[in-house]
Amino acid sequence: MKKSTIEKLKAIQQEIPKEWKQALMKMAYDMPITRNELVPKLLDDPDVSEEYKQRVRNLLEAGYFDKESEVVDEEIAQKIDDFVEMRIMEEIDKGNLPKSNFKGLIRKIKQQQKDERKNTK
């Protein structure tokens, strides 16, 4: 890939809205269903032994169910991908980027446009 192409791609990357970049990663509970739905039901269930309930309470107090990890916000990632693809296509159309480096992207965009036309009929 030519240096000018790389520079243009870096410039496009710099155009990604700052708020999207900041929102790309988010914190999420490792076990949200367990923590928010299963644990309260389990502790209120009369059929569950007190010994087992106490084990669950101990895990809850120890923060076992509160562990969080940083994860990608898929919706924001898709917005960024769409934005970059749109900008690349604009630069190709202007002649600032060579078509030869982006044949896969061009095929993908053309297929999406074809599918959109079919869906609007």
Where along the chain do its domains lie? 1-24+73-121, 28-72
What's residue 83's pLDDT?
Answer: 95
pLDDT tens across 60-70, in order? Answer: 888 887 788 89
**Beta carbons of 69 and 28 less than 8 angstroms apart:** yes
Give residue 15's pLDDT: 96
pLDDT tens digits, one per residue of 54-113:
998 898 888 887 788 899 999 999 999 999 999 999 999 999 999 888 888 888 888 888
pTM here? 0.65
Distance CA 19, CA 11 (A): 17
